[in-house]
Copies of this chain bind each other. A is one copy, B any other.
């Protein structure tokens, strides 16, 4: 799999043109910022979590994004129901296993979710991806990192097992599919100081997967766009407050030239 600025921008244009509806069942912390990121790139976000409506919403969506960042039993039930609907419609499901490994509740829920309805794309940091596939792995909340080699191995195991794309994000992003792996080296060290940019990366995977049925490419394109927009945002950002604002502007303004100038693989 090779990705390049033209293939990335082609997907951005498709999102801007088609404004795919991305159904998010996500955490309270990032609802506003991921909705804004989806709007800025050109998609149509909707957040809906109630059991009586998740099927109806998944029935009109172009992608379903499930994020377990602020989990509770009622929401879990809705996640399963929405995922089943998405599976039956063959639309992409993107999973963000936030904080998996930090509590048994998250680990158990994420593992049950991936068994009940295989996601098209899973995106997490290294420790989350490792916790998702291994027993006895514990992480330190939501922003841990771990040895990238182990994480890539875990991603490969998950990818093989579930027949899905796994993104391990960090200073370098690894996009692992069943027979392939791409690295994306864009991004900025201040990005982890903004809450929920990982969740935003996951939400963007939903938008890209809604317009590109090659989910490996879709995920890699989304990661490149995240990193490039982050670099553009950091250029004039004295701190993470400004970075968050500029990041949305950068998604909105992103041109093929921006991608060509910055894309690093």
Whether B102 contacts A57 by the Cβ 8 Å rule is yes
Distance between Cα atoms of A140 and B53 in the complex (Å) = 14
Are A29 and B53 in touch, CB under 8 angstroms? no
> Could you tell me if B39 and A106 are in contact, using CB atoms closer than 8 angstroms?
no
Which residues of B sit under 8 angstroms from A47, Cβ to Cβ? 27-29, 69-70
Number of chain A residues close to chain B: CB under 8 A: 61
A257 at the interface (CB under 8 A from B): no
Q: Is A263 at the interface (CB under 8 A from chain B)?
A: no
Q: How far is the CA of A110 from the CA of B69 in the complex (A)?
A: 26
Q: A97-129 interface mask toward B, CB cutoff 8 Å, 1 = contact, 0 = none?
A: 001001111100000000000000000000000
**Contact status A46-B99, CB under 8 Å:** yes
A contact residues vs B (CB 8 Å cutoff): 21, 27-33, 35-36, 39-40, 44-50, 52-53, 56-57, 60, 69-74, 99, 102-106, 140-143, 192-196, 237-242, 244-253
